[in-house]
């Protein structure tokens, strides 16, 4: 009997907006899928294409990047730089045969906890539609955050 597929979502999120929204979602007891693993960044402008690709290499089925709303970044244009990097990484994912739809950028304000929950729901549904990452899970789940963390300065 095959195991039930539980997708793994890696979320690179900024400290000031999306992390606050995710924390508020917990405080509000909003229900959303528990299969998201958060990698907290000071700003999504710090996200690198290498981090995104390594998340897939570690077995993430989908990856999301979520930062401040457009025009509201605490570091002025960090979320715009992240958006450009996500778009570039999507082209690489298509070239690699994984598919650009496995990666998405969101802009979630600090007070928008329901939008965080909806984004996680969206990515979970997408992962279920796309199926498991064809690269597979090469490492145990707890090591994913550590591996990505090792890439960061």
**CATH code where residue 62 lies:** 3.40.50
What's the pLDDT band for 66 if we cut at 50, 70, 90?
Answer: very high
Residue owning tokens 């591996």: 147
Tell me, yes or no, whether 151 lies in a domain: no
Asked if residue 148 is part of any domain, the answer here is no
DSSP secondary structure letters along 8-57: -EEEEEETTTHHHHHHHHHHTT----S-EEEEEES-GGG--HHHHHHHHH
Number of domains the chain is built from: 1
Determine, yes or no, domain membership for 141. no
Q: Which residues, 6 or more positions from 106, have their beta carbon under 8 angstroms from its beta carbon? A: 18, 64, 65, 66, 67, 115, 119
Residue 115 clears pLDDT 50, i.e. is over it:
yes
- Kindly report, residue by residue over 37-57, the tens digit of the pLDDT: 999 999 999 999 999 999 998
Q: State how far the Cα of 31 lies from the Cα of 86, in Å rounded to an integer.
A: 27
pTM of the predicted model as reported, rounded to 2 decimal places: 0.86
Q: How wide is the angle at C-alpha 28 spanned by C-alphas 27 and 31, nearest 5°?
A: 105
* Domain encompassing residue 48: 9-136
């Amino acid at each position: 009997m095959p195991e039930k597929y539980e997708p793994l979502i890696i979320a690179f999120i900024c400290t000031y907006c999306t992390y606050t929204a995710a924390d508020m979602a917990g405080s509000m007891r909003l229900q959303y899928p528990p299969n998201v693993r958060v990698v907290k960044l000071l700003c999504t402008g710090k996200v690198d294409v290498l981090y995104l690709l390594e998340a897939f290499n570690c077995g993430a089925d989908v990856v999301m990047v979520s930062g401040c709303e457009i025009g509201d970044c605490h570091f002025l244009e960090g979320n715009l730089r992240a958006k450009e990097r996500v778009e570039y990484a999507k082209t690489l994912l298509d070239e690699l045969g994984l598919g650009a739809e496995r990666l998405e950028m969101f802009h979630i304000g600090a007070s928008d906890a329901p939008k965080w929950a909806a984004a996680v729901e969206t990515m979970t549904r997408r992962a279920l539609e796309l199926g498991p990452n064809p690269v597979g899970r090469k490492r145990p789940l707890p090591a994913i955050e550590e591996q990505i963390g090792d890439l960061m300065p």
